[in-house]
Structure 1
């Protein structure tokens, strides 16, 4: 059974270039956005959409993901900090006790989802000139893959950790000063999101479900937030004073989004 236990102690920094540190977490975002751009290019070509609109989509998606996820984290998990230090939430720096560049630490997937939907509304109205659900049905395909990379980044940072397994199975997060194994919840999520990406990719390319506006978007919501709901049972609470809740914050936020997904999957639409 000891073979099922992994001592996990990687440095979150891949390498340094002078004062600039290249972190695994940042690199995972680069992978996510780069592959996302490649996937959306194939989709645009298949749908005969001018590729010059892809640059605007990329910009909207990157900004919306980072800002939405950042604000969402503090709004859902640390609202008092959001209202006391709004600039430190929006900017990748902190001002006290000293000025320091910290990057965007603290990102919430629920906030990213809201940010992307709002950005896609603007993009579909001003640039794409198609219904909002048209672009949402397509952008969720690379988003699922991007979510996998984010969770790999969390694993490299030894953050968003799982609960103790109370056995010889699990990851021992040595950077946290621990000597007992925990569930690798980040890995559970990463693998789940990869499976979701494969499902959505298959449905877009091999079925006619994309002809029903909102179906792929709805399926994405059902699958993603259902996975999130289940895996939260294996995670430590991100906010200490909510650790005794029957369901944690991530689960309460996921429930309505699952029902939203079912609505878009099974709603009646006109031909």
Structure 2
């Protein structure tokens, strides 16, 4: 048992975020997890089309997910800058948005550092809204097509965070804690990335997947997702280390928790709005 505990607690220092490299090019686990996440959502949406006789075509799924990818990248980056790096955005708007650096006088690819889940969620909503308007299809129906699969895809993103050794948890004395080299202090910390992968990912996926055939009206699954994710992450944030440059924002709550409260409120509002709209349609 002691050997396993030692291995577990020192696992982050044994993981390499780079899968393989060719010269200056490096294939990283984090980016690969994004690809796997989109593939999972695509395949599960395809499965739903075959098994549930939904009014969408196979090309529709690929086209919609193309817009979703754009929304995730732009929304995730902009959301991070607005929620967690507003000072940097004001100081250097172009430099913080573009993945290139001109600090050395040249132009080099520096990558994108900092993505916000909540910003990505807003970006996806905007992208899908524009997509469904262009296709003249229902927005909520389209979101509900993909939403049961989203948590499982999200699981891989959090595993990517874990392999990167980032977004680690707060200090703990529990044996489940791990030593994260990027934390700066040699203290056991909660593996909050794994908590999120399990509860926000797998558990929420199981709930939504079981409910997908019992959805009483368009928007129901989306409302359950918004409230469920917000609720679970709100509590997991008590185990996650707040961003060092922000800390606690209000009432000893992190920025993530405040955004999750807004997310839960949005879920409840969406539920009552869509359920009342469905009742009006049935009583006509």
Shift of 1:102: 3.0
Match of 2:232 among 227, 231, 239: 227
Match of 2:46 among 38, 41, 58: 41
Deviates more, 1:17-26 or 1:130-139: 130-139
Q: Does 1:197 align with 2:186?
A: no
Give 2:110's aligned residue: 102
Q: How does 1:132-147 map to 2 (within 5 A)?
A: 132-147=139-154
Shift of 1:80: 1.5
Alignment partners' CA distance in 2, 1:225 and 1:254: 4
Query: Aligned-pair RMSD on alpha carbons?
Result: 2.0
Alignment partners' CA distance in 2, 1:150 and 1:223: 18
Alignment partners' CA distance in 2, 1:175 and 1:110: 24
Query: 1:69, 1:107 within 8 Å by CA — same for their partners in 2?
Result: yes
What's the CA shift string for 1:226-268, capped at 9, x where partnerless?
Answer: 1111111111111434337411101111112102212333442
Give 2:248's aligned residue: 243
Give 1:17's aligned residue: 22
Report the 3-state secondary structure (helix = DSSP H, G, I; strand = E; otherwise coil) of the residue aligned with 1:11: coil
Alignment partners' CA distance in 2, 1:260 and 1:175: 34
Aligned residues: 267
Shift of 1:176: 4.4
TM-score, normalised by the number of residues in structure 1: 0.91
Change (3 A) 1:47 1:149: same
Shift of 1:177: 5.1
Alignment partners' CA distance in 2, 1:264 and 1:177: 42
Alignment partners' CA distance in 1, 2:70 and 2:258: 26
Alignment partners' CA distance in 2, 1:182 and 1:65: 29
Q: Does 1:185 align with 2:192?
A: yes
Q: Does 1:114 align with 2:116?
A: no
Q: Does 1:263 align with 2:258?
A: no
Query: 2:178, 2:190 within 8 Å by CA — same for their partners in 1?
Result: yes
Give 2:214's aligned residue: 208
Query: 1:92, 1:102 within 8 Å by CA — same for their partners in 2?
Result: yes
Alignment partners' CA distance in 2, 1:241 and 1:54: 38
Runs of 4+ with >6 A deviation: none
Shift of 1:150: 1.1
Deviates more, 1:224-233 or 1:259-268: 259-268
Shift of 1:52: 2.2
Alignment partners' CA distance in 1, 2:79 and 2:227: 20
TM-score, normalised by the number of residues in structure 2: 0.87
